[in-house]
């Protein structure tokens, strides 16, 4: 059955070969065939798959076994071999995955639609079609709601789907399986490269900040287990010997402004800083107390929310989640203090002090009592320059790798969309 003329509004339809029929998805596949009933035994054990269980490469990573009695209320849908799961929430549309084999004791969230192919559609062709740009656009166009816009089941069931001859579907599926596997393998290698770059960066900075730049100097035991040996001429001190802290304010939303003004300061929160350089949702507070003001020369450290993260070079008034680290005296330079606070080994120790609760929270005294190493001033400057250069060099390499991954993902998506709309000759696959 073809769609009625009233349904033929999708711009991609003209891209298809004229011999390819278009049918509503519900005539090619069954949706959400199997579900756990509410009467399921509380001790029934399964592995749960939600949106976060699907990787960017479409791989499925189920949870450890959980009991039905302890499971989220959304754990209801049961996939079978050959099924494709598709997130129906617009924010998470990239969560699309295919079950090649019979999953063992897997239950999916109701945030997915489980699509079971019928006799007139090849399972892998349907999977590739469901993750094509055209299908993603269709779902977006039909999503409703404000907080979590989603496509409703009846609209999903009516999504237009191409239905060429099965031998053509098999050829396209085989072509895309081979091509996308090669692309995904390259993406995985580049992602592993980024992990190795991050590990190397952390090791080099830790070495510089805790051992110095001269590998030939005599060493001594620092007396601090997590610091280990340090250069013999370095001192061991504590943060409280050369700095003080001030904590920010939590300003109620009704006291924040969306526009800047002559007596207003930009309100610095963990969320605003994590949003990146293009963030345009800044809020402002009027006449903030001097103790919560910071300038480009100050050092902020997140005590909770993103515990241990260090920020410098911002101007405004800072949230209660931050400490302002105020250096006192001339024993430690600002540049070295930033390098020290960003040192992975120091951050790991501060996180340990903050606790392993859901939201770690570092208090004043625990931070101020933390032991640290203090090299001579000339070495501090050299170490700070070395750490900054290392950060910059590795950041460039990581950014280049991320851009390469982004280009590969765009190419993979374009390839999928072109193949499932008949723009690529896959005759060799059919032969």
Question: What pLDDT sits at residue 277?
Answer: 63
Question: What pLDDT sits at residue 278?
Answer: 67
Question: What pLDDT sits at residue 356?
Answer: 65
Pick the range with the lowest mean pLDDT from 95-109, 372-386, 405-419: 95-109
Give residue-wise pLDDT tens across range 163-219. 999 999 999 999 999 999 999 999 999 999 999 999 999 999 999 999 999 999 999
**Can you tell me the mean pLDDT for 274-301?**
85
The pLDDT-based confidence of 354 (bands split at 50, 70, 90) is confident
Q: Whole-angstrom Cα distance, residue 3 to residue 8?
A: 7
Question: What pLDDT sits at residue 1?
Answer: 39
H/E element holding 28? none
Higher-confidence residue: 271 or 389?
389
Could you tell me the two tokens for 236? 């061991």
CB of 99 closer than 8 Å to CB of 60: yes
Q: Whole-angstrom Cα distance, residue 324 to residue 249?
A: 12
DSSP letter for 361, please.
Answer: B
Q: Whole-angstrom Cα distance, residue 166 to residue 199?
A: 48
For the full predicted model, state whether its pTM sits above 0.85. Answer: no
Return the bridge partners of 30, or none: 116
Residue 358 clears pLDDT 70, i.e. is over it: no
Gyration radius (Cα) of the chain, Å: 28
Q: Whole-angstrom Cα distance, residue 291 to residue 289?
A: 5
The pLDDT-based confidence of 431 (bands split at 50, 70, 90) is very low
**Upper half-sphere CA count for residue 192 (Cβ side, 13 Å):** 6
Residue 276 clears pLDDT 70, i.e. is over it: no
H/E element holding 405? helix 377-420
Share the mean pLDDT of the chain.
89
Question: What pLDDT sits at residue 13?
Answer: 79
- State what percent of residues in the chain have pLDDT above 70: 95
CB-count exposure of residue 190 (10 Å: 0-12, 13-18, 19+): middle
The pLDDT-based confidence of 5 (bands split at 50, 70, 90) is very low
CB of 328 closer than 8 Å to CB of 244: yes
**Can you tell me the mean pLDDT for 250-266?**
90
Residue 428 clears pLDDT 90, i.e. is over it: no
Q: Whole-angstrom Cα distance, residue 78 to residue 106?
A: 7
Higher-confidence residue: 276 or 234?
234
């Amino acid at each position: 059955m073809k769609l009625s003329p009233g349904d033929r509004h999708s711009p991609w339809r003209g891209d298809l070969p004229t011999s390819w029929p278009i049918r509503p998805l519900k005539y090619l596949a069954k949706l959400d065939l199997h579900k756990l009933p509410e009467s399921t035994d509380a001790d029934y054990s399964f592995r749960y798959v939600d949106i976060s269980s699907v990787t960017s490469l479409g791989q499925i990573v189920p949870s450890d076994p959980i009991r039905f009695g302890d499971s989220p209320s959304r754990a209801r849908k049961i996939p079978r071999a050959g099924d494709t799961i598709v997130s129906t929430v617009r924010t998470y549309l990239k969560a699309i995955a295919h079950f090649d084999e019979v999953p063992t004791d897997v239950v999916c969230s109701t945030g997915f639609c489980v699509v079971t192919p019928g006799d007139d559609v090849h399972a892998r062709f349907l999977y590739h079609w469901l993750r094509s740009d055209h299908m993603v656009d269709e779902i977006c166009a039909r999503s409703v709601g404000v907080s979590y816009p989603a496509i409703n089941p009846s609209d999903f069931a009516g999504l237009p789907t191409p239905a060429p001859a099965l031998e053509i579907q098999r050829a396209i599926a085989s072509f895309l399986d081979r091509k996308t596997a090669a692309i995904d393998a390259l993406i995985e290698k580049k992602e592993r490269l980024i992990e190795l770059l991050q590990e190397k960066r952390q090791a080099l900075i830790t070495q510089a900040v805790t051992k110095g730049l001269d590998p030939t100097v005599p060493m001594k035991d620092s007396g601090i287990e997590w610091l280990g040996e340090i250069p013999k001429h370095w001192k061991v001190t504590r943060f409280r010997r050369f700095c003080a802290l001030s904590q920010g304010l939590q300003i109620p939303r009704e006291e924040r402004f969306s526009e800047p003004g002559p007596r207003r300061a930009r309100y610095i929160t963990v969320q605003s800083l994590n949003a990146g350089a293009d963030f345009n949702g800044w809020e402002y507070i009027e006449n903030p107390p001097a103790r919560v003001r910071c300038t480009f020369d100050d050092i902020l450290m997140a005590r909770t929310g993103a515990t241990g993260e260090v920020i410098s070079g911002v101007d405004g008034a800072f949230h209660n989640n931050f400490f302002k680290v105020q250096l006192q005296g001339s024993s430690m330079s600002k540049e070295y203090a930033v390098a020290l606070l960003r040192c992975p080994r120091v951050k790991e120790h501060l996180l340990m002090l903050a606790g392993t609760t859901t939201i770690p929270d570092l208090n004043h005294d625990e931070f101020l009592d933390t032991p640290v190493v203090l090299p001579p001033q000339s070495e501090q400057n050299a170490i700070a320059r070395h750490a900054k250069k290392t950060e910059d060099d590795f950041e460039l390499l990581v950014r280049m790798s991320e851009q390469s991954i982004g280009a590969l993902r765009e190419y993979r998506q374009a390839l999928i969309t072109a193949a499932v709309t008949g723009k690529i000759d896959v005759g060799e696959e059919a032969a």
